[in-house]
Amino acid sequence: HRRQPRIFRIRTVPTRLNHLNQRNNMSISIPVSFEFFPPKTAEGEDKLMHTVAELAPHNPEFFSVTYGAGGSTQEGTFNAVANIRAQGHQAAPHLSCIGATRSKISEILDGLKTQGVNRIVALRGDLPSGMGGMGELHHASDLVALIREHSGDYFNIHVAAYPEYHPQSRTPQDDLKNFVKKMHAGANTAITQYFYNADAYARFIEDARKAGVDAPIVPGIMPITNYSRLARFSETCGAEIPRWILLKLASFGDDQASIKAFGEEVVAQLCQRLIALGAPSLHFYTLNNAAPTLAVLKNLK
């Protein structure tokens, strides 16, 4: 028995990107989705279900659960999805193709369909170093094509997008070309890597539209809670943290309360700008903690 979608009434702030701003100074509503990683322990599983319960009142379009390329945590992903769905919520597994065979992926797709799961976040993934070969599917576009070939229109497919470009893309043009190819292979929606520079998102949307992609491109939002973890993450995934944010966070040292307050304000302002730019919804990287995401949503209200 699902509740009506919760509407966030947001009064957007004027931005210097007004030429792209279709929603400025209007009261609007924005759907949300929340991402988790699969817990590794029974305690982690309990904590995740508690987090789900805390976020559920925001009536997300779906919860998603990440997937470990190369074998790690894959069962955990499907178990977490089943547990979330058992609570009456929409949930989508992430599925990566690097290192996998076509028959293994087809088997997974059949299993998901049997369970009634009809949404997938489809990725290439990154093989842990020294772990196995590339497998039969080398790019996310190959996975999207296989899902469509095997299951027709059954699945709603989300793919990844990189407003600051994927670290392995040779050029921004290559990145865009490969993104377009992935969308044209049959993806319904894209979710971006997190970023703190709204201009990069605005530019990416503009380029994607010019290249013929009409599908929604949902910004991925990473709440800021911890200086060193954010710096480490961002180095590996190619997301830039603006110098002013890094310096400010570093200046707080161990003062967690100041980091929290600053992080909440910065991320809420980013969300407001993205909404003003026409973001179709917001996808939160929760890292299995409800509080930082709830604080941002509260700041948005």
Q: Which of 80, 123, 200, 268 binds ligand FAD (CB under 6 A)?
A: 123
Site string for ligand FAD, 67-86 (x = CB under 6 A): x-x-----------------
Separation of alpha carbons 239 and 247, rounded Å: 16
> With binding defined as CB under 6 A, does residue 239 bind ligand FAD?
no
Number of shown-chain residues binding ligand FAD (CB under 6 A): 25
Q: 242 near 269, Cβ under 8 Å?
A: no
Q: Which of 17, 14, 29 is nearest to 301 (CA)?
A: 29
Separation of alpha carbons 69 and 138, rounded Å: 12
> With binding defined as CB under 6 A, does residue 193 bind ligand FAD?
yes
CA 88 vs. chain centroid, Å, equals 21
> With binding defined as CB under 6 A, does residue 235 bind ligand FAD?
no
Listed ranges 6-14, 103-111, 122-130, 251-259: which one lies at the site for ligand FAD (CB under 6 A): 122-130
Q: What is the 3-state secondary structure (H, E, C) of 64-109?
A: EECCCHHHCCHHHHHHHHHHHHHCCCCEEEEEECCCCCHHHHHHHH
Q: Which of 23, 85, 104, 139 binds ligand FAD (CB under 6 A)?
A: 139
Partnered with residue 192 across adjacent β-strands are 161
Listed ranges 44-52, 149-157, 164-172, 223-231: which one lies at the site for ligand FAD (CB under 6 A): 164-172
Q: Which of 28, 79, 85, 126 binds ligand FAD (CB under 6 A)?
A: 126
Q: Which residues are catalytic?
A: 35
Minimum distance of ligand FAD from residue 280's CB (angstroms): 14
Q: Which of 58, 89, 119, 124 binds ligand FAD (CB under 6 A)?
A: 124
Q: Which of 166, 184, 203, 248 binds ligand FAD (CB under 6 A)?
A: 166
Minimum distance of ligand FAD from residue 251's CB (angstroms): 29
Listed ranges 99-107, 149-157, 173-181, 224-232: which one lies at the site for ligand FAD (CB under 6 A): 173-181
Q: DSSP secondary structure string, 166-234?
A: -TT-SSHHHHHHHHHHHHHTT--EEEEEE-S-HHHHHHHHHHHHHTT--S-EEEEE-----HHHHHHHH
Contact footprint for ligand FAD (CB under 6 A): 66-67, 69, 94, 96, 121, 123-126, 139-141, 160, 166, 168-169, 174-175, 178, 181-182, 191, 193, 220
